[in-house]
Structure 1
Amino acid sequence: MLKPVHSNYSEGNQGNHKYPLVSIIIPYYMHEKFIAETVWSAKNQSYPNTEIIVVDDGSPEPPDRAINNIPGIKLIRTENLGCPGARNIGFNHSSGEYLIFLDGDDVLLPGAIEAHLAALADAPAACLSFGSVRIIDKDGHEKRKARICAPRKNYFLMLLEHNPIASPGSMMLRRKPFVEVGLYDPNLRYFPDDYELLLRLARRYDFVQHSVCVLEYRRHSTNVSGDQEAILTGTLAVLDSLEKREKFTPDLRRRIEHGRRRWIHQCRPKDELGYHLRSIYYRGRELWNIPFRNLFSDNF
Structure 2
Amino acid sequence: MSTSPLVSVIIPTCNYGKFIAATLDSVRAQSYHPLETIVVDDGSTDHTADVVRAYPEVRYFYQSNQGVSVARNRAIAEAQGEFIAFLDADDVWQPNKLSIQIAYMLENPDVGITATKIKNFIEPGTQLPSWFQPEIGLEDHKSPIPSTLVVRRTVFSQIGNFSPDYRASEDLEWLCRARDAQIPIITLPETLILRRLHGANLSWQAWRESVHRAIKILRASLARKTQRLAD
TM-score range, shorter chain: 0.7 to 0.9
Is this contact kept in 1: 2:146–2:171, CA < 8 A?
yes
For 2:156 and 2:28, the matched residues in 1 are separated by 24
Q: Give the match for residue 158 of structure 1.
A: none
CA distance in 2, matches of 1:182, 1:240: 18
- 1:64-94 deviation per Cα after TM superposition (whole angstroms, max 9, x unaligned): 2223322311001112110010000011111
Task: Indicate yes or no: 2:140 matched with 1:146.
Answer: yes
Aligned length, in residue pairs:
218
Residues of 2 paired with 1:224 and 1:67: CA distance?
21
Q: Shift in Å at residue 225 of structure 1? A: 2.2
Equivalent of 1:100 in 77, 81, 85: 85
**Distance change in 2, residues 1:124/1:92 (3 Å):** same
- Counterpart CA distance in 1 for 2:158 and 2:57 is 29
TM-superposition CA deviations, 1:133-189 (whole Å, max 9, x none): 000112499972423x4xxxxxxxxxxxxxx21x1111110110122211111121x
Distance, in Å, in 1 between the alignment partners of 2:122 and 2:33 is 30
**Residue 62 (structure 1) shift:** 4.6
Contact kept? 1:224, 1:230, Cα under 8 Å: no
**Percent identity of equivalent pairs:** 27
2:23–2:92 contact (8 Å) kept in structure 1: yes
Contact 1:120-1:208 within 8 A present in 2 as well: no
Quick one: structure 1 residues 140 and 40, their matched pair in 2 at CA, closer, same or farther if it must change by over 3 Å? farther
2:169 paired with 1:184: no
Residue 201 (structure 1) aligned with residue 178 (structure 2): yes
CA distance in 1, matches of 2:8, 2:108: 20
Bigger share in strand:
2
Q: Which runs of 4+ in 1 moved over 3 A?
A: 139-143
Q: Aligned-residue CA RMSD in angstroms?
A: 2.2
CA contact (8 A) 2:20 2:52 kept: yes
* SS of equivalent to 2:171: helix
Matches of 2:85 and 2:64, distance apart in 1: 22
**Structure 1 residue 55: Cα displacement:** 0.4
Answer yes or no: is the 8 Å Cα contact 1:184–1:197 preserved in 2: yes
Matched, 1:82 2:40: no
Structure 1 gaps of 5+ residues are: 1-14, 150-163, 251-300
The alignment's TM-score, normalised by the length of structure 1, stands at 0.68
Distance 1:63 1:228, change over 3 A: closer
Q: Which runs of 5+ in 2 are unaligned?
A: 127-133
- AA of the residue aligned to 1:192: S
2:199 match: secondary structure: coil
Equivalence for 1:25: 10
Instruction: For 2:78 and 2:17, locate their aligned partners in 1 and report how far apart those are by CA, in whole Å.
Output: 22
Counterpart in the other structure of 1:172: 150
